[in-house]
Structure 1
């Protein structure tokens, strides 16, 4: 709430402010929601003057109304869905990663978070012809691994190099460096300047966000929480202002009953729009993983899908089709023809 103060607008002087406070009107919200005629009588002030103050405060402190049709048109023009390249994950994500949103992969060591991120980056860069910003905070990303995955997609050396050029990597190992990177990309057209490999930037991957934040959430609680909020705000701004799909990874902790739950606490839990928990599948091949939807604004939670981490490393002919889901009402799914 915004407190009423002297000088906030013409006509709001000390005398009027005292009268308003005597009538228990202390905030802008109190004033604009009051019956002005009745309030003018209680305060013994001019109805015309009070109405003028209310009108100025409304213009300064409230948003202009937007129709539902305008919001729908904005959604059509700004929101796209990027397939992860894996049908099982796309099914959990209601067709894929949504631009303008933050999606989180959470899981313990060896659960496959980084491997999924590699596969998503390769799929977007090669199949969708879009650029990807990949921020590596653990040192696990190598160009050799990306090239190996691309070699299963195409034997054409030029196509492999073009796809690699669309994946722009940053290796950062502390939260301040991460913030500097995000601010740099978001300011001065940095995100658009990164598109040297062709295609616009449609995805931002941070693997792992918890690696640089979790160490700060101990003794220096206030500083750590503040930095975490700054990272969250920067990622949300990138997602919304540049219409990119943000994918982050997070570690897990154990609840009192021993169940795995996402790290970074309740404050961070409100940041991702969608959260998926990755776990090993005890039986079967070593690459088998289970993915459980634990937070979503579009689908029922606790849906589980099994998938193979080697999916992104197989030849296209052995996949039996890729993509996972068609277009969603009000949104478009990116394919090779998108600019």
Structure 2
């Protein structure tokens, strides 16, 4: 379900949205299935104006058939691949994060989800010189950690500050604020974030489960609706603006005790690629705890599922010369990687 909101189309202003809700019409589905003449009388609005709004909403939210050839041509012309900066993760993801898609990192506490997101943000902002939107819903992102990663990439203080300026951080702790932010980004926020700092190439939502999980379960149908809305805006943003969407998710235990991503079956259809992160058991470092992690591909349209790679969370804090000779193309067109 798509909730009606102000500005979805011309004529749908705040007062009308309030009147429609008072008449029991809260979603696009409610409006398009209503008797427009009767609804116009209830809301004291002209039949012509309400009919025009209904027609626009139908056009926006009705699916139209597209040929496979058209989809493939669009894929070749628009999709880019963004390196995560880590060779093992890039190998698992078939070269990196794909624009136009949602990629999910799931894992328990301490599995490294946020650290990977920090590394991706630093990689895109410093090496690609492009902007990143980072939506932090847990309060885990700090400027000092980003700066530490950047200092491992370059000793030039000016370059460090320029890269930090290209990472636009939003601290939001409820799903309504997240939805408002995503809608604002689609309505001009992405363009504003691009001014003077390269175009936005990635939107990172860390974590999506932190703001949605509390609303799910029992009879809380609103939570499911809000989850679907978040998914819809992320998909639209990724496709329409040619950016990579990266989200993090918690994990739960399945019926037989296996670890699996949270948010249920409905959400499972949303990400195009899903990666499960876990600590590597019995791995001990000099500091008493290991930064070694295991990444398992559990959903992909390009790679065989259940393949695994190991990587070190300290990779993004390495010295610049440690990986010389291993750097790869940061952003490539899909046809060049075929």
Using structure 1 for the length normalisation, give the TM-score.
0.76
The answer for the alignment partner of 1:11 in structure 2 is: none
Answer yes or no: is the 8 Å Cα contact 1:99–1:239 preserved in 2: yes
Greater C-alpha Rg: 1
The answer for the alignment partner of 1:316 in structure 2 is: 320
Provide, for residues 247-283 of structure 1, a one-character-per-residue CA deviation record: whole Å limited to 9, x for no partner: 0000000012211000000000000000000000012
The answer for the alignment partner of 1:300 in structure 2 is: 304
Matches within 5 A, 1:194-213: 194-213=193-212
Cα separation, 2, equivalents of 1:264 and 1:83: 27
**Higher deviation after alignment, 287-296 or 220-229:** 220-229
Cα separation, 1, equivalents of 2:65 and 2:308: 42
- CA gap of 1:328–1:132, structure 2 versus 1, over 3 A, is closer
Answer yes or no: is the 8 Å Cα contact 2:83–2:331 preserved in 1: no
Cα separation, 2, equivalents of 1:151 and 1:260: 36
Cα separation, 1, equivalents of 2:214 and 2:68: 45
- 1:257 match: secondary structure: coil
- CA gap of 1:202–1:291, structure 2 versus 1, over 3 A, is same
- CA gap of 1:91–1:190, structure 2 versus 1, over 3 A, is same
The answer for the alignment partner of 2:232 in structure 1 is: 233
Answer yes or no: is the 8 Å Cα contact 1:88–1:324 preserved in 2: no
- 2:73 match: secondary structure: helix
Cα separation, 1, equivalents of 2:314 and 2:141: 16
Cα separation, 1, equivalents of 2:80 and 2:329: 15
Cα separation, 2, equivalents of 1:65 and 1:230: 23
The answer for the alignment partner of 2:145 in structure 1 is: 145
Cα separation, 2, equivalents of 1:72 and 1:319: 35
The answer for the alignment partner of 2:247 in structure 1 is: 248
Answer yes or no: is the 8 Å Cα contact 2:105–2:248 preserved in 1: yes
The answer for the alignment partner of 2:186 in structure 1 is: 186
**286, 294, 300: which is aligned to 1:290?**
294
- 1:128 match: secondary structure: coil
Matches within 5 A, 1:89-104: 89-104=89-104
Cα separation, 1, equivalents of 2:247 and 2:71: 27
Cα separation, 1, equivalents of 2:242 and 2:336: 13
Answer yes or no: is the 8 Å Cα contact 1:86–1:322 preserved in 2: no
Cα separation, 2, equivalents of 1:102 and 1:65: 21
Cα separation, 1, equivalents of 2:80 and 2:335: 9
Q: 1:329, CA displacement in angstroms?
A: 4.8
Give the aligned CA root-mean-square deviation in angstroms.
2.1
Structure 2: where are the runs of 5+ without partners?
1-61
The answer for the alignment partner of 1:330 in structure 2 is: 335
Cα separation, 1, equivalents of 2:296 and 2:307: 6
Q: 1:190, CA displacement in angstroms?
A: 1.6
How many equivalent pairs are there?
A: 271
Q: 1:73, CA displacement in angstroms?
A: 3.5
Cα separation, 1, equivalents of 2:269 and 2:278: 22
Answer yes or no: is the 8 Å Cα contact 2:291–2:313 preserved in 1: yes
Q: 1:332, CA displacement in angstroms?
A: 6.7
Using structure 2 for the length normalisation, give the TM-score.
0.76
Cα separation, 2, equivalents of 1:201 and 1:211: 24
- CA gap of 1:93–1:65, structure 2 versus 1, over 3 A, is closer
Matches within 5 A, 1:57-96: 63=64, 66=67, 68=69, 70-96=70-96
- 1:194 match: secondary structure: helix
Answer yes or no: is the 8 Å Cα contact 1:274–1:296 preserved in 2: yes
